[in-house]
């Protein structure tokens, strides 16, 4: 039998290629402003913060989350340039040790961009490298209407009309502020919205802890929660101070509507405290505030071990890229919050930004779901030429 060299090689297979350590060569952050046609629409996004991580492997990672310049020059560059791109866990620990937990939010733009580079090197979406639990996330639209911060001048009908518009466009959920000076007004608003959207559309209410400037007492929260239950609202978010471990737990035990929270949690230990105290029915880490995609995956894992869903707090437009990857890696994350600049659809808001993408397309959104993109990294096919063209600030 004649054995050719080619056949012999095929039988042997090819040796594994050397996988040299990939080093970070530079990190930068800047803003891009895309054309607004001369008359900007306040419901569309034209300015995008960008953070980029350059590597010696010829791959660059990009996130649409800016980072603080002092942190960039004072810690990120001195620490990360010349070091291992992949050692995200080690870098995160060093950041916490060197700068304290308050800085974890600051570097997230870098962390997301590092994951983009890792995924591009691997040729795979980041969600796949983190265990990939799902291929799509259900969207809920968080909408703050123009007018008073507490929405006291926003007619219930205006909120109901917009919820109906979301529904007509395939979306299945809306989240609104529960900030009105008379708390039961927000319950009445939900009643009007419920009548407009029918029984299966999800309506979430967000009290946002201390942000309204005053905190509900327990009887108020209980009354609101009971009222929301009657209108079949889906969840009530951060009814008390975000540091209050017991109040939400007491409310969650007393009512059937889900009590949620955790967006300001910065450490795994804070989430452990929420879980030990049964503070929330659903924990909601923010994939920027908690320190990044990796930190969010850790929190999700911890929550899953308690049987608690981990539904990420959201953001808007292209900053969502890392959130969507993280969410699709989580076994216990069904939803992705998308926060609007006002009453608009997510696809409308990021439409101007698509000039930054090679294929002029962001995510596939269908029937209220956002689908995990099939591009490597964070999934946005960022155009080098467009980033250069629209860059406004060094």
Partner 1 sequence: MRNRRQFLPGLAAAALGRAAQVKITGIDIYDIRLPVTADEAAAGLMHAFNVVEVATDAGVTGYSFAGPGAAQLSAVRRLLIGQDLFAIERHLYNGLARWGGVEHAMWDAIGRLAKQPVYRLLGGGSTRVKAYVTCVWPGKEDQQHITYREQAEQAVRLQKAGYKGMKIRAWRPNPLADADACAEIRAATGPDFAIMFDRTAHAPQVVGQKVWSYDTGLKVARALERAGAYWLEEPFARDDFESPARLAAAVDMPITGGEGYVGTADFQQCLLHRTYDILQPEGRGSGGIFTCRKVAFMADAYHHPCILHGTMALMLAGWLQATWAIGSEWQEVALVTPPLLPQQQWVPGLKVLRTKEMYRIENGDILAPELPGIGLDVIPEALREYRVR
Question: Alpha-carbon distance 357 to 380, whole Å?
Answer: 7
- Residue 297 in contact with partner 1, rule: CB under 8 A: yes
Question: Alpha-carbon distance 255 to 49, whole Å?
Answer: 41
CA atoms within 13 A on the CB side of 110: 32
- Residue 121 in contact with partner 1, rule: CB under 8 A: yes
Q: Does an H or E element contain 51, and which?
A: strand 47-55
Q: Which is nearer to partner 1, 36 or 73 (CB)?
A: 73
Considering only residues 78, 384, 391, 392, which one is a binding residue for partner 1 as defined by CB under 8 A? Answer: 384
Q: Which is nearer to partner 1, 143 or 300 (CB)?
A: 300
- Residue 249 in contact with partner 1, rule: CB under 8 A: no
CB of 347 to partner 1, least distance (A): 21
Interacting residues with partner 1 between 204 and 233 (CB under 8 A):
none
- Residue 389 in contact with partner 1, rule: CB under 8 A: no
The stretch among 42-50, 127-135, 140-148, 160-168 that binds partner 1 (CB under 8 A) is 127-135
CB of 259 to partner 1, least distance (A): 21
- Residue 302 in contact with partner 1, rule: CB under 8 A: yes
- Residue 2 in contact with partner 1, rule: CB under 8 A: no
| Residue ranges with strand state E in 218-334 | 235-237, 258-261, 282-283
- Residue 84 in contact with partner 1, rule: CB under 8 A: yes
Considering only residues 7, 21, 36, 155, which one is a binding residue for partner 1 as defined by CB under 8 A? Answer: 21
Reference 173, options 339, 353, 386, 394; nearest CA is 339
The 3-state DSSP class for residue 366 equals: strand
- Residue 306 in contact with partner 1, rule: CB under 8 A: yes
Residues contacting residue 306 through CB under 8 Å, at least 6 positions apart: 275
- Residue 12 in contact with partner 1, rule: CB under 8 A: yes
**Per-residue contact string for residues 277-296; x = within reach of partner 1 by CB under 8 A:** -----------------x--
Reference 247, options 196, 289, 209, 197; nearest CA is 209
Q: Which is nearer to partner 1, 216 or 294 (CB)?
A: 294
Q: Which residue has the tokens 């609104």?
A: 176
Question: Alpha-carbon distance 347 to 354, whole Å?
Answer: 10
Question: Alpha-carbon distance 288 to 286, whole Å?
Answer: 5
Reference 293, options 135, 140, 130; nearest CA is 130
Considering only residues 43, 122, 164, 245, which one is a binding residue for partner 1 as defined by CB under 8 A? Answer: 122
Ramachandran quadrant class, 43 (left: phi over 0; alpha: psi -120 to 50; beta: rest) = alpha
Interacting residues with partner 1 between 318 and 377 (CB under 8 A):
329-331, 358-359, 374-377
Considering only residues 68, 128, 185, 348, which one is a binding residue for partner 1 as defined by CB under 8 A? Answer: 128
Q: Which residues of 46-64 are buried (b: 16+ CB within 10 A; e: fewer)?
A: bbbbbbbbbbeeebbbbbb
Question: Alpha-carbon distance 224 to 169, whole Å?
Answer: 29
Interacting residues with partner 1 between 52 and 71 (CB under 8 A):
54, 56, 58-60
CA atoms within 13 A on the CB side of 50: 29
Considering only residues 118, 190, 259, 320, which one is a binding residue for partner 1 as defined by CB under 8 A? Answer: 118
CB of 380 to partner 1, least distance (A): 9
Considering only residues 30, 46, 49, 133, which one is a binding residue for partner 1 as defined by CB under 8 A? Answer: 133
Question: Alpha-carbon distance 282 to 45, whole Å?
Answer: 30
**Per-residue contact string for residues 253-272; x = within reach of partner 1 by CB under 8 A:** ---------------xx-xx
**Which residues sit at the interface with partner 1, rule CB under 8 A?**
11-13, 15-21, 25-26, 54, 56, 58-60, 84, 86-90, 118, 120-125, 128-129, 131-134, 268-269, 271-272, 276, 294, 297-298, 301-302, 304-306, 329-331, 358-359, 374-377, 381, 383-385
């Amino acid at each position: 039998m004649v054995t050719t060299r080619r056949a012999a090689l095929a039988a042997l297979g090819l040796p594994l290629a050397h996988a040299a350590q990939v080093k970070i060569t530079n990190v930068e952050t800047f803003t891009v402003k895309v054309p607004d046609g001369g008359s900007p629409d306040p419901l569309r996004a034209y300015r995008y913060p960008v953070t980029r991580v350059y590597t010696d492997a010829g791959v660059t990672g990009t996130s649409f989350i800016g980072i603080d310049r002092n942190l960039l020059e004072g810690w990120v560059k001195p620490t990360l340039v010349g070091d291992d791109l992949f050692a995200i866990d080690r870098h995160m620990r060093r950041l916490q040790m060197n700068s304290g937990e308050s800085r974890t939010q600051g570097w997230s733009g870098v962390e997301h961009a590092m994951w983009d580079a890792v995924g591009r090197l691997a040729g795979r979406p980041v969600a796949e490298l983190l265990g990939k639990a799902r291929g799509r996330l259900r969207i809920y639209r968080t909408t703050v209407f123009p007018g008073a911060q507490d929405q006291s001048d926003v007619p219930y009908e205006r909120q109901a009309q917009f919820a109906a518009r979301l529904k007509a466009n395939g979306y299945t959920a809306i989240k609104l502020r529960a900030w009105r000076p008379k708390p039961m007004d927000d319950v009445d608003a939900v009643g009007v919205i419920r009548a407009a959207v029918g029984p299966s559309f999800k309506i979430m209410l967000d009290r946002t802890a201390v942000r309204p400037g005053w905190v509900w007492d327990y009887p108020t929260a209980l009354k609101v929660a009971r009222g929301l239950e009657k209108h079949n609202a889906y969840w009530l978010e951060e009814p008390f101070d975000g540091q209050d471990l017991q109040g939400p737990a007491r409310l969650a035990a007393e009512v059937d509507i889900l009590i949620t929270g955790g967006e300001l949690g910065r450490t795994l230990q804070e989430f452990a405290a929420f879980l030990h105290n049964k503070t929330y029915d659903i924990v909601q880490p923010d994939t920027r505030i908690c320190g990044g995609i990796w930190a969010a995956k850790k929190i999700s894992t911890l929550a899953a071990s308690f049987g608690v869903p981990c539904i990420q707090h959201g953001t808007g437009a292209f900053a969502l890229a890392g959130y969507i990857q993280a969410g699709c890696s989580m076994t216990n994350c069904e939803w992705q919050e998308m926060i609007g600049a006002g009453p608009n659809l997510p696809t409308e808001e990021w439409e101007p930004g698509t000039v930054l993408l090679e294929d002029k397309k962001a995510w596939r959104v269908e029937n209220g779901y956002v689908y995990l993109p099939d591009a490597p990294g964070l999934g946005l096919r960022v155009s080098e030429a467009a980033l250069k063209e629209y860059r406004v600030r060094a």
